[in-house]
A = this chain, B = another copy of it.
Amino acid sequence: MATVGIIGAGQLGQMLGIAGRHLGIDCVFLDPAENPPARGVGEVIRLPFDSAEGLAQLAERCDVVTYEFENVPVDALSKLPADLPVYPPPAALRNAQDRLMEKTLFCSLDIPVPGFRAVDSVADLEAAAGVLGLPLVLKTRRLGYDGKGQQVVRGTHEMGDAIAALGGKQLIAEQWVAFDREVSAIGARSVSGEIAWYPLTENVHAGGILSTSRAPADAEALEDVARAYLERLLERLDYVGVLALELFVTGGRLLANEFAPRVHNSGHWTIEGSRTSQFENHLRAILDMPLGDTGMQGQAGMVNLIGRIPANRVPFEGRNRHLHDYGKEPRPGRKLGHVTVVTRDPHERDRVLKELANHLNS
């Protein structure tokens, strides 16, 4: 069987590695961290993500390369041998790394987005505010994640500080969207071009970090539109692997926010809640196997365990609950684990999610 090289050995790499173990696929990881979560499921090459030596070692040991986070330097991937497949394709990564390219791509695919403008100065921002209105969200074009690299700008007086706080240039101003809710459309496309979708997932963020997901989202009327957007994106990018498209729901419409060229936190519920997890389907896609059935197994929910895992784990361990502990050192804002809830009834799922949220906040 094939060996998969994975750049990054965090929890997403760990869950890919676990899926690989079942399939008889070895995963080898590249990650400089000392005790990364994936260490328990495969060998970790302890070198930086962009290290020529590390990438050479990875290339030597694997048949295909993938990555578990979108801030992999695209230039680093060009250090890999030309005949070694890299999935998702680096072009997808490049588009996902730059919010301006990403939004422009959405527009070219007729996928609606909030209004946006490139910003490199206060003058640019003032002009953007004239078109987009205030408040608006100012973001770095590159390297943002989990709400980092963003500032809400409420008035002209805040503009200078906001720009300075974000490094002064290479920014993007985005229209403020008073969204009703957030959903993600997760799909996979294989080397052969086969596409599979998961039901829409509804997400709730807290402090810029995903806190809770529910699937299927109570949004049947939007499924077809979201899938059409996802499919356009997958096709245009000649994409291979799992992709997550994050969307705002506002007034019954969908606006694309961003996409992640990788398995995604909002799809963690698929491990227990779907016939085939996003992790197994990512491996199937990049190894050109047929994609697995994405049918639901019930009503699924997911709660992230952020910063600390309470000493009392009993509420995470009930019969309709599945605790995932990534084995990471606690640190504020750090994703340490998650709990999946799968029930027959959506009200029961929501009751359990509430119980878990209460426990986390107690």
Is A148's beta carbon under 8 Å from chain B?
A: no
Is A122's beta carbon under 8 Å from chain B?
A: no
Bound CA span A292–B280, Å: 22
Question: Once the chains bind, are A23 and B325 in contact (CB under 8 Å)?
Answer: yes
What residue in chain B is nearest A20 (Cβ atoms)? B40
How many chain copies does the complex carry? 2
Is A304's beta carbon under 8 Å from chain B?
A: no
Question: Once the chains bind, are A24 and B325 in contact (CB under 8 Å)?
Answer: yes
Is A351's beta carbon under 8 Å from chain B?
A: no
Is A205's beta carbon under 8 Å from chain B?
A: no
The answer to whether residues A289 and B275 also contact, given A24-B337, A323-B24 and a CB cut-off of 8 A, is no
Question: Once the chains bind, are B289 and A317 in contact (CB under 8 Å)?
Answer: yes
The answer to whether residues A322 and B24 also contact, given A295-B344, A298-B275 and a CB cut-off of 8 A, is no
Is A163's beta carbon under 8 Å from chain B?
A: no
Bound CA span A272–B21, Å: 14
What residue in chain B is nearest A325 (Cβ atoms)? B24
Interface residues on A, range: 35 or more
Question: Once the chains bind, are B41 and A21 in contact (CB under 8 Å)?
Answer: yes
Question: Once the chains bind, are B342 and A293 in contact (CB under 8 Å)?
Answer: yes
User: Closest CB-CB distance, A179 to chain B, in whole Å?
Assistant: 32
What residue in chain B is nearest A15 (Cβ atoms)? B22
| Chain B residues positioned under 8 Å from A284 (CB to CB) | 317
User: Closest CB-CB distance, A268 to chain B, in whole Å?
Assistant: 10
Is A69's beta carbon under 8 Å from chain B?
A: no
Is A1's beta carbon under 8 Å from chain B?
A: yes
**Closest 6 A-B residue pairs measured CB to CB?**
A24-B325, A289-B317, A297-B297, A293-B319, A293-B320, A18-B21
Between A and B, 16 residue pairs with Cβ closer than 8 Å are A15-B22, A18-B18, A18-B21, A21-B21, A21-B40, A21-B41, A22-B324, A24-B324, A24-B327, A25-B325, A275-B297, A276-B322, A280-B322, A290-B317, A290-B319, A295-B298
